[in-house]
Amino acid sequence: MSDSVDYRPMWESLGLDLAAHDMLLAAIPQMYTDAFLTQKDRPEGMAYFDFVMSEIHGLRIKELVDHKAAGGKVIGTFCLYVPEEIIRALGGVAVGLCAGAEWAYDEVEQILPRNTCALIKSFMGFKMGKVCPYVESADLVIGETTCDGKKKAYELFGEMAPVHVMELPQMKRPDDMKLWRAEIDRLVAKLEEVTGNKLTAENLAKGIQEVNDKRRALQHLNAARKASPAPISGKDALLAVQVAFYDDVPRFTQMVNKLADELEARVAAGTGVAPVGAPRVLVTGSPMSIPNWKLPDIIEKAGGVVVTEELCTGSRYYEKLVAEDASSMDAMLDDIAEKYLDINCACFTPNPGRIDDVIRLAKEYNADGILHYALQFCGPYTIEAYSVDKAAQDAGIPVLRVDTDYSMEDVGQLQTRIEAFLEMLEKPAVSA
Amino acid sequence: MSDSVDYRPMWESLGLDLAAHDMLLAAIPQMYTDAFLTQKDRPEGMAYFDFVMSEIHGLRIKELVDHKAAGGKVIGTFCLYVPEEIIRALGGVAVGLCAGAEWAYDEVEQILPRNTCALIKSFMGFKMGKVCPYVESADLVIGETTCDGKKKAYELFGEMAPVHVMELPQMKRPDDMKLWRAEIDRLVAKLEEVTGNKLTAENLAKGIQEVNDKRRALQHLNAARKASPAPISGKDALLAVQVAFYDDVPRFTQMVNKLADELEARVAAGTGVAPVGAPRVLVTGSPMSIPNWKLPDIIEKAGGVVVTEELCTGSRYYEKLVAEDASSMDAMLDDIAEKYLDINCACFTPNPGRIDDVIRLAKEYNADGILHYALQFCGPYTIEAYSVDKAAQDAGIPVLRVDTDYSMEDVGQLQTRIEAFLEMLEKPAVSA
């Protein structure tokens, strides 16, 4: 965090618990240094992300506060299914909410069961502990019914903050699309009420284009990861998607495109972050929120390289775009509904699209193995792991299944398991 | 199990694992004797249920096999939301599937996470272990999307048996009703295909009336439990609802009405199963399938009496009826959709109806305390417990929260907690 500006009055005005927040801020830089700044041969473009991370509770919050002072609204989200296009069209700024570290679990476990997944306990803890400046800046938090835990936790969260819950259907048939399309209309109405602005074909087209550009930039960046040696670490690529949930959209797009250009040059020059032959890993499963870098950190410190993520903080975020050829607002909203319902979350039944995505990405990115990562007590992903595993076996791709949380207690055990897995993935010609 | 008839050839023809099934059948009678036959002052009408239980894998299965031999179909269900009216109208017999005991968990945990709720592990275990003659008799199993665990487990169950999954929405607004109403149409189409019969206003009206009569009989029985002393134990009343999922409908209705008449006479005579002043307990939470009698057994052996159950195996099953005044088939299906969506499962968000039901029932049945029972890892009920607890506190009703499974490992600890709770509920005038 920058030393030059005193953000404490701003945090205080947002209602943060300053003493607790200091403790949080004291922990993150060391974690970040250990995970990111110790990496060798990083792309220069990552300097931007180092800066963003150093200012994630500082300068970026200042920008949100300024946006609010100018009459704009801040909309907090926890999930990929909330259309940022509409929020931006109405002059809102969408921000992901803090959910990637253990915080105030003692308080959380007074209202939620202990065996709730870490993501949910974390977002409740950050709110109850008053240490997340994003949620405290939010004029509205948008929830969704993607899993039992979130669905029911939002009821309790709603007692602490203004919450609007979108009902995501559980299948993808025409009747589900009707329900979902109606949810989009309800979201528009709610956001028009909160922002005081009116959705138009013009502002929506702009919102669609800006968010598509952001996703295109991430596609651009990620395409370079197909090369061997990988031009960027999995940790750095993950960080880019994590930051996509928080950062100013046009600036982020510009910086990611710049980084992607650099990666293309690295690929052309044969420059990588890991030797050719380092085991290439696809990670799939539950989302990874900042600062949850635990698993890619273990994989890459053990000599592997994560080449793609079939995650909400990965390909699910950037692979699909909203169509840009609609001329009426209604048609644009149809396109938005379609793009979002097309995301393959394990909350759908059945969910063959995700299995296909995993196998397709593993081939496109030349992954030697798949690491299936699930948060403990995340029912949808822990159960779907079985089907992913089976499909991968059929495709001849080794899978390691890891169920974990945000604690560091199992790091030693995970290191051992992951090292053994990577060893198995090493090609004889390379290990000789 | 009756000794006079050899059902083994029948079980074998259904594909049961006879050796494993023998082990299961050897365990149940002792459990049943301990829980039910040791009770004092039982209503005479319970003799019917003793008989039904002794023949639950025998005579009743014979009836199903005969039904199938005559061209009828057997439809397995796991959930209250599957409309039995439609199944009956099409000449099918609806049966609940085995899900109340630990079975073949070793096999189950090879495909499902260990931390899946006992109900789900149980139904998968009974199928994988081939010991449930109901599921083996079923021509179709109907699943639903009521929770993450079931929703995703049905995908795997569907590889072992023919499964049709109904999408239950997660809210109860008009758009949700539209989706649900379309699900009812899809169910009709599927059942028409499986049974080879055609739904008509006549057979549907009959189905509605028969199932309503069953529910009215259970209302009749349960109304008597408002009296003090309670004329029937909670265990016996629970058993009646559990058997409602399996038994022949008109016969069951007749026997329950007979039992209810007896209870009315007992109430008039002041005859009870527990002394006046015994702590009266309302049980609410996750469903209790046969032979899951663990909690009411502990409560009643500790001197309490369960007077009502806000459970799927309780008031949620029998309190609401399908309207009987519709004249067209479409209108009847509307009424069915409405009745079923009106059930207050914790899978809905928000779910104030259940909280209201719990408090209302506690008052109607003069409950001294509420026992909130949740299966471990049952997200919806474990999380909603917080809201139930809060509402009960506001209403001045003590609550004990119990999260457990089907094992007997925690019985000692539960006994201690429940005894302490009952002691707290005892009225000074009585305990003096």
pTM above 0.80, yes or no: yes
Residue B2 predicted with pLDDT over 70: no
How many angstroms separate the CA atoms of B134 and B65, rounded? 10
Instruction: Choose the mutation target among A156, A347, A349, A386 for the interface with B, i.e. most B CBs under 10 Å.
Output: A349
In the prediction, which pLDDT does A428 show?
A: 59
Q: Do B350 and A175 touch (CB under 8 A)?
A: no
Q: Is residue B432 very low, low, confident or very high in pLDDT (cuts 50, 70, 90)? A: very low
Buried b / exposed e along A200-230 (16+ C-beta atoms within 10 A): eeebbbebbbbbbbbbbbbbbbbebbbbbbb
Q: Is residue B430 very low, low, confident or very high in pLDDT (cuts 50, 70, 90)? A: very low
Average pLDDT across each block of 10 residues of chain A; the chain has 432 residues. List them in order.
80 97 93 96 98 96 98 96 98 95 97 97 97 97 98 98 98 98 98 98 98 98 98 98 98 98 98 96 97 97 98 98 97 98 98 98 98 98 98 98 97 98 80 40
How many angstroms separate the CA atoms of A370 and A389, rounded? 9
Q: Do B383 and A165 touch (CB under 8 A)?
A: no
User: Minimal Cα distance from B352: which residue of A?
Assistant: A155
> By C-alpha distance, which of B241, B243, B296 is closest to B273?
B296
- Nearest by CB to B349, from A145, A377, A387: name it: A145
Among B12-16, B51-55, B182-186, B423-427, the minimum mean pLDDT is found in B423-427
Q: Do B148 and A377 touch (CB under 8 A)?
A: no
Helix (H) or strand (E) holding B93: strand B92-96
Residue B1 predicted with pLDDT over 60: no
Q: Mean pLDDT, to the nearest integer, of B95-116?
A: 96
Chain B from 104 to 143: CB within 8 A of any A CB? 111-113, 115-116
Q: Do A170 and B167 touch (CB under 8 A)?
A: yes
Please list every residue in chain A whose beta carbon sits closer than 8 Å to the beta carbon of residue B175.
Answer: 178-179, 182-183
In the prediction, which pLDDT does A3 show?
A: 57
How many angstroms separate the CA atoms of A198 and A89, rounded? 9
How many angstroms separate the CA atoms of B106 and B367, rounded? 40
SS3 of A291, please? coil
In the prediction, which pLDDT does A431 show?
A: 42
In the prediction, which pLDDT does B3 show?
A: 57
Q: Is residue B372 very low, low, confident or very high in pLDDT (cuts 50, 70, 90)? A: very high
pLDDT digits (tens, 9 = 90+) for B134-173: 999 999 999 999 999 999 999 999 999 999 999 999 999 9
Q: Do A175 and B179 touch (CB under 8 A)?
A: yes
How many angstroms separate the CA atoms of B239 and B243, rounded? 6
CA A130 to chain B, closest CA, distance in angstroms equals 21
Instruction: Please tell me if residue B189 touches chain A, with a CB cutoff of 8 Å.
Output: no
CA A75 to chain B, closest CA, distance in angstroms equals 21
- Nearest by CB to A380, from B152, B167, B384: name it: B152
Cis peptide leading into residue B169 (ω within 30°): no
How many angstroms separate the CA atoms of B164 and B154, rounded? 9
CA B180 to chain A, closest CA, distance in angstroms equals 9
The two structure tokens encoding residue A113: 């069961």
Q: What is the dihedral of CA B381, B384, B387, B391, to 10 degrees?
A: -30
ipTM of this complex prediction, to 2 decimal places: 0.96
Please list every residue in chain A whose beta carbon sits closer than 8 Å to the beta carbon of residue B179.
Answer: 169, 175-176, 178-179
> By C-alpha distance, which of B134, B133, B169, B127 is closest to B151?
B169
